[in-house]
Amino acid sequence: MALLTFELPDGTTRRVDVVQVLNAGYAGRSQDDVAAHVAELAELGVPAPSVTPALYPVAPYLAQHTDRVSVQHGRTSGEAEWALVVDGDGELLLTAACDHTDRELEVHGVAWSKNAGPDVLARRAWRLADVQERLDTLTLRAWVSHAASGGSADGAGSGGTGGFGKETVIQDGTLAELLTPGYWAEVLRERGDLLPGTVLISGTIPMAEGVDQFADRWRVELGDPATGDVIELAYDVVRMPAPIG
């Protein structure tokens, strides 16, 4: 299992032994946004889902705090999301997440692709109750960077000299675009799955057209305009060595 530790705004920490991870999909409140995401995936060869919203269980160890994601090829990408975390006392926490997905595998099965990469979670969180009244105003943004000239995904992430080019915004929206944490908490409660150690990843918002999602670095921010507080995560995407055999 995975052990995650979150710092709260008051300086206290919550340690969470992850027992299950669930990834929501096609979870926009607007059917237009859902259709846009289905179209994005269709361009990559992913068949449309039979029902929306969807929910995909993934291995608990895939919930990670990490600044480095190892991949087997160049067609993987993240997705800016929020994560609902049930701590050991049953309290609901909200944090930023990035679901890193194998797009080559996705054309054969979304559930398979979700299990091929980690769900990267930020190291800070808010109590859901503290932001519940202004959830729709919370912002969700993602930026991507590509290896600068002379660098590469593996070079930049493992001490190469090329570094990264300029960040480009690839996702920019608010939580009003997605089904709410309360919606998913009720779904889990009805299933008997709202258990301490549960992590639910929200599903994502549309990506900007014309931005290369197959990047060497991802950064995600969950922001609260009312307080100016921002929860952030970032990681390098690092290509593994070629296999032998």
pLDDT of residue 124: 98
Half-sphere exposure of 197 (CA within 13 A, CB side): 10
Question: 131-148 burial by CB neighbour count: b if 16+ within 10 A, else e?
Answer: beeebeebebbbbbbbbb
pLDDT of residue 105: 83
Distance CA 56, CA 203 (A): 10
Query: What does the CA dihedral 217, 213, 241, 69 come to, rounded to 10 degrees?
Result: 50
Distance CA 144, CA 192 (A): 37
Mean pLDDT, each 10-residue run in order, the chain (245 residues): 93 98 92 75 76 92 97 95 97 98 86 90 98 98 87 41 84 97 97 97 93 97 98 97 92
Residue whose entry in the numeric block shows the structure tokens 């769900």 = 119
DSSP sequence for 117-131: S-EEE-SB-EEHHHH
Distance CA 47, CA 62 (A): 24
pLDDT of residue 139: 98
Please tell me the pTM assigned to this model. 0.90
Cβ atoms 97, 233 nearer than 8 A: yes
pLDDT of residue 149: 63
First to last CA, the chain: 31
Residue whose entry in the numeric block shows the structure tokens 């800070």 = 124
Rg (CA), the chain: 17
